[in-house]
Every structure is written in structure tokens, then in C-alpha cells.
Amino acid sequence: MEEILLLGAGGHCKSVIDVIEQEGKFKIAGVIDNELEVGSRVLDYAVIGNDNDLASLRKEYRYAFIAVGQIRSAAVRKKLFNLLKDLDYTLPTIISPFSYVSKYAKIDEGTVVMHHALVNADAKVGKNCIINTKALIEHDVVVQDNCHISTGAIINGGVVVKDETFYGSNATSKEYIDINGFIKAGSVVK
């Protein structure tokens, strides 16, 4: 089984660990965070280094995944994504076996689809996205790069979610509209 590094030792990392363990495609080699966290643990996994160690770790590990969450800004996730790509890491797509992704949907690199999320036919999800627990991405939706679709969110058919959008928990959209920016939890997006 291939080994993978996780970047970020916060709460989102715990959820990503659970999805990776359930998916069973990768063995987690360790977590990368800031220097102060080195030696600590996230669930069963040690924090083994910081961002400055990624170049030397690339000699040993091919796969890495961003386990930093995203609320106000996609800046940290984008910076880490670009750093990993520059260092020639492979960022896989991680999909919970407890989610549903249509065989007609497309999920791009570095994106995680969490437990009980639904991604329907002809939906397209870009790079470095979080499709969080129980989110619904309906048919013909386009979620561009670096977006976070939060827990329980509903995006109805034909919607385009623009780059770097945060779409809050339990927000619901009208169909066939463009969405951009920060969408508060519980919003109805018309």
C-alpha cells in the first residue's frame, strides 16, 4: 500500500484521516505541520516535520494531501497545493466509501469527498476542494478549484461555484446560478 503525508494537524486532519483509513488505498506515513507541533500526534499519527522538510521527504514519499480546513480564505490551501506540485508530489483524490460519486461525475486532484456526501451525474469538482460530510452536489454542477462545500450544504442542478468559494453548512442554492465568495451557514442562495 502506498504511503501518504498529510499537511495540517488540526480538526479537518482528523476527518481526513478517518476517510483515508476507511478508503483503504493509502497508509498514512505522518503529518506535516509547524515546528511547534513536531513530535505531537493527531489521532494515531505523529507530526513528523514541517513545510521546510517537504523537499527532503519527497525522496521517500510520492503522495501528499492537504488536510488543512478552509473557512474565510483558500490562501493557505492554495499555497500548500502549489508547494506540493512544485516539489512533484502527487495529490490524489480521496473519496469516502460511505459517499456516493456518480460514475458520470469528475473529481479532480487533491480533492476530498467526505462521508455521506453525494456527487451526482455530470457534476465536476475541481482541484484542492473539500466536499464535506453530507454535502449534496447535484447534476451538472461545476465546483471550481480551491472551494469548500461545507457539511450538509445543498448545491442544486447546474450551479457554477467559482474558485475559492466557501459555501457554508446547510446553505441551499437555487438551480442554474453562479456562486462566488463567502456563503454563510444556513443561507438560501438565489
User: Cβ(96)–Cβ(113) under 8 Å?
Assistant: yes
Cα–Cα distance measured from residue 61 to residue 5, given in angstroms and rounded to the nearest whole number = 7
Which residue, among 66, 120, 132, has the nearest Cα to 95 in the 3D structure? 132
Q: Is 81 exposed, middle or buried (0-12, 13-18, 19+ CB in 10 A)?
A: buried
Higher pLDDT, 138 or 40: 138
Q: Are residues 109 and 160 in the same domain?
A: yes
Give domain status of residue 77, yes or no: yes
Give domain status of residue 190, yes or no: no
Cα–Cα distance measured from residue 159 to residue 163, given in angstroms and rounded to the nearest whole number = 13
Give the range of the structural domain holding residue 99, as residue numbers without chain letter: 94-185
Residue 35 banded pLDDT, cuts 50, 70, 90: confident
Give domain status of residue 78, yes or no: yes
pLDDT reading at 27 higher than 80: yes
Which residue, among 37, 58, 34, 35, has the nearest Cα to 46 in the 3D structure? 37
Give the residue-averaged pLDDT of 4-25.
97
pLDDT recorded at residue 143: 98
Q: Please say which residue of 47, 68, 86 terminates a domain.
A: 86
pLDDT recorded at residue 36: 72
Give the residue-averaged pLDDT of 25-40.
90
pTM of the model: 0.96
pLDDT recorded at residue 39: 82
Q: Which three cell numbers stand for residue 42?
A: 493527531
Q: Which three cell numbers stand for residue 48?
A: 513528523
Residue 31: give its domain's CATH number. Answer: 3.40.50.20
Q: Are residues 45 and 14 in the same domain?
A: yes
Q: Are residues 100 and 180 in the same domain?
A: yes
The DSSP-derived string for 113-171 is E-TT-EE-TT-EE-TT-EE-TT-EE-TT-EE-TT-EE-TT-EE-TT-EE-TT-EE-TT-
Domain count, the chain: 2
Residue 173: give its domain's CATH number. Answer: 2.160.10.10
Cα–Cα distance measured from residue 15 to residue 10, given in angstroms and rounded to the nearest whole number = 9
Residue 128 banded pLDDT, cuts 50, 70, 90: very high
**Ramachandran assignment for 32, one of left (phi > 0), alpha (psi -120 to 50 degrees), beta (any other):** beta
Q: Could you give the residue ranges of the DSSP H alpha helices within 24-74?
A: 54-57
